[in-house]
């Protein structure tokens, strides 16, 4: 029953749709490219991932607080942050197909094709030339490489290319009734800037002392030109970010700490450690003094899920310059070298930034299993999501064995007691076996069956998703049994 990784990925996407996790946006209008909607179980799973992150970051750390800043922000913020001038990809259009491509992506695809054909020398030479062109920001050179290597448009098959130009990834819109340039505002391409511009508000109102962090979960928007691989690269997505403000000179120590802490957060969900790896950035952004990605092995290869960046004091200094407002923090602690307070400075920032949608996909892929249950007598299988119970959309399903003899009423009575604390589902249609399969497919850790014996001694059977083992337990112990397993 083993599938290749491509088939496995397709099965996960189909499963996500069939069972109400992820739908293509605007599907009845043939969809909207790189935009997706989360269905009834997807929304629950997403909320549970957010809660797991929020608790780990905010609730467990006394020096980290969470905020919720607006998506719309003053347009100058994006000038100060460098996004207006620098947040862009090099694009090239094919004149025949009228389709637009990322110039560097076309070249990378060609490098992969050379590799596949065993032309390693050509692949290496092209990679080198691409690196040089990127380093020099040489757009004309990118076009030359496309022409020289005879790269044709996948749709028209022609090499009739335009010039390469930078294409800004920010979406813009107008605020207010009059459309003029001055009113242009952007949909935020990252949540971080909402934290930077509020850092002093939070520090003062919360009497925060350095080192401290500000966390936020929210939507971000990028007009990605190449949208690939399902919810990996979307135009509207969600980020969970934390900016940690530290004393200058201590950033490396904090960077190392957060790099480790964040990987531990991932591994605490029970994922096999070999599925994860760090990727160190060698080409650093102009504002960064260290950057690592946490990558996960998706069916199509290792891909970034989270970035940990040491952003120096770049963002706060830029906002000080553009807003004219002081972004300094007064540090009253005594510097042992000088015996005086550290005094005023602009803090350095360590950032942890994880894509919620990529985390969602990772979770789904990791949990998905098509399990062969065949015996000598008969062929059988089930699709099961082995989600960590704390992330499961439905914690338990309650089934009356039959629809009569007062069993539905008893099942509802048990459910009413538990549903305040847990998201539950009641099901009375179909044979028990079929109901188990439906719950396996959405990752429900427990199925509870109410039968005639329940009416006599108030016990129920509880069936465990992973082992499929069943046991008889008192109905009154259910809240503890479920609570113990689904807690953080």
Question: How many Å apart are CA 41 and CA 394, to the nearest integer?
Answer: 8
Nearest position to ligand ATP, beta carbon: 355
**Other CB atoms closer than 10 Å to residue 94's CB: what's the count?**
21
Rounded Cα gap, residues 459 and 167, in angstroms: 64
CB of 357 to ligand ATP, least distance (A): 5
The reply to whether 108 sits near ligand ATP by the rule CB under 6 A is no
Nearer to ligand ATP, 263 or 415 (CB): 263
* Site for ligand ATP, residues 181 to 220, rule: CB under 6 A: 190
List strand residue ranges (DSSP E) for 109-211, in order.
161-168, 172-174, 184-186
* Backbone angles phi and psi of 380, in degrees to 5: -155, 155
Shortest distance, position 310 Cβ to ligand ATP, whole Å:
13
Q: Which of 144, 304, 371, 427 lies at the binding interface for ligand ATP (CB under 6 A)?
A: 304
Residue ranges for the known binding site for ATP are: 222-224, 232-237, 304-305, 355-358
Distance CA 238, CA 114 (A): 36
Residue among 53, 79, 78, 77 nearest 66 (CA)? 53
Q: Which of 110, 262, 311, 358 binds ligand ATP (CB under 6 A)?
A: 358
**Pattern 227-246, ligand ATP, x by CB under 6 A:** ------xx--x-x-------
Min CB(265)–ligand ATP separation in Å: 14
The CB-of-404 to ligand ATP minimum distance in angstroms stands at 50
Q: Should residue 355 be labelled a site residue for ligand ATP when binding is judged by CB under 6 A? A: yes
| Options 307, 347, 400, 443; binder of ligand ATP; rule CB under 6 A | 307
What's the CA gap between 319 and 314, in Å, rounded? Answer: 9
Closest distance of CB 415 from ligand ATP, Å: 37
List residues bridging with 429 in a β-sheet: none
The only residue of 81, 191, 353, 444 in contact with ligand ATP, by rule CB under 6 A: 353
- Which residues are part of a known binding site for substrate? 102, 190, 237-241, 351-355
Asked if 96 interacts with ligand ATP (CB under 6 A), we say: no
| Spatial separation of the C-alpha atoms in residues 54 and 455, rounded to whole Å | 42
Cβ-based nearer residue to ligand ATP, 188 or 465: 188
Question: Side-chain half-sphere of 43: how many Cα atoms within 13 Å?
Answer: 6
Binding-site residue set: 102, 190, 222-224, 232-241, 304-305, 351-358
Burial of 394 (0-12, 13-18, 19+ CB in 10 A): buried
* 473's tokens: 């337990």
Residue 104 CB, shortest distance to ligand ATP, in Å, is 12
What span, in angstroms and rounded, lies between the C-alpha atoms of 440 and 231? 23
How far apart (Å, rounded) are the C-alpha atoms in residues 85 and 6?
38
Chain contacts with ligand ATP (rule: CB under 6 A): 190, 222, 224, 233-234, 237, 239, 304-307, 353-355, 357-358
């Amino acid at each position: 029953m083993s599938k290749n990784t491509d088939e496995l990925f397709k099965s996960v996407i189909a499963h996500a749709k069939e069972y109400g996790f992820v739908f293509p946006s605007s599907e009845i209008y043939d969809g909207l490219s790189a935009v997706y909607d989360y269905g009834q179980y997807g929304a629950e799973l997403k909320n549970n991932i957010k809660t797991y992150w929020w608790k780990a970051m905010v609730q467990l750390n006394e020096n980290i607080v969470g905020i919720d800043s607006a998506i719309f922000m003053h347009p100058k913020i994006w000038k100060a942050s460098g996004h207006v001038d620098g947040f862009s990809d090099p694009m090239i259009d094919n004149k025949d197909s009228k389709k637009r491509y990322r110039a560097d992506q076309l070249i990378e695809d060609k490098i992969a094709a050379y590799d596949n054909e065993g032309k390693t020398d050509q692949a290496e030479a092209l990679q080198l030339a691409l690196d040089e062109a990127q380093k020099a920001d040489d757009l004309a050179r990118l076009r030359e490489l496309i022409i020289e290597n005879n790269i044709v448009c996948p749709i028209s098959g022609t090499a009739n290319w335009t010039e390469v130009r930078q294409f800004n990834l920010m979406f813009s819109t107008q605020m207010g009734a009059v459309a003029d340039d001055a009113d242009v505002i952007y949909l935020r391409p990252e949540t971080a800037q909402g934290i930077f511009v509020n850092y002093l508000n939070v520090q003062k109102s919360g009497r925060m002392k350095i080192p401290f962090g500000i966390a936020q979960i929210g939507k971000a928007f990028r007009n990605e030109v190449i949208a690939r691989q399902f919810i990996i690269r979307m135009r509207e997505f969600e980020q969970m970010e934390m900016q940690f403000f530290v004393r200058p000179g201590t950033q490396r120590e904090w960077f190392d700490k957060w790099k480790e802490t964040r990987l531990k957060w991932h591994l605490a969900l029970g994922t096999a450690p070999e599925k994860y790896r760090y990727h160190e950035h060698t080409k650093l952004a102009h504002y960064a003094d260290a950057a690592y990605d946490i990558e996960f092995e998706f069916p199509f290869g290792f891909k970034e899920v989270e970035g940990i960046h040491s952003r120096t004091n770049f963002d706060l200094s830029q906002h000080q310059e553009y807003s004219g407002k002081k972004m300094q923090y007064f540090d009253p602690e005594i510097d042992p070298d000088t015996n005086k307070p550290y005094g005023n400075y602009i803090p350095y920032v360590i950032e942890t930034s994880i894509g919620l949608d990529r985390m969602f996909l990772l979770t789904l892929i990791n949990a998905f299993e098509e399990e062969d249950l065949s015996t000598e007598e008969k062929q059988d299988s089930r699709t099961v999501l082995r989600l960590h119970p704390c992330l499961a959309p439905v914690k338990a399903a309650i089934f009356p064995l039959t629809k009569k003899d007062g069993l539905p009423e008893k099942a509802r009575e048990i459910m009413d007691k538990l549903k305040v604390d847990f998201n539950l589902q009641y099901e009375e249609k179909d044979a028990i076996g079929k109901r188990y399969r439906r719950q396996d497919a959405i990752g429900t850790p427990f199925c509870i069956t109410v039968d005639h014996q329940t009416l006599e001694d108030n016990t129920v059977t509880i069936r465990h998703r992973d082992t499929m083992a069943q046991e008889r337990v008192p109905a009154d112990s259910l809240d503890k049994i479920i609570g113990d397993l689904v807690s953080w």
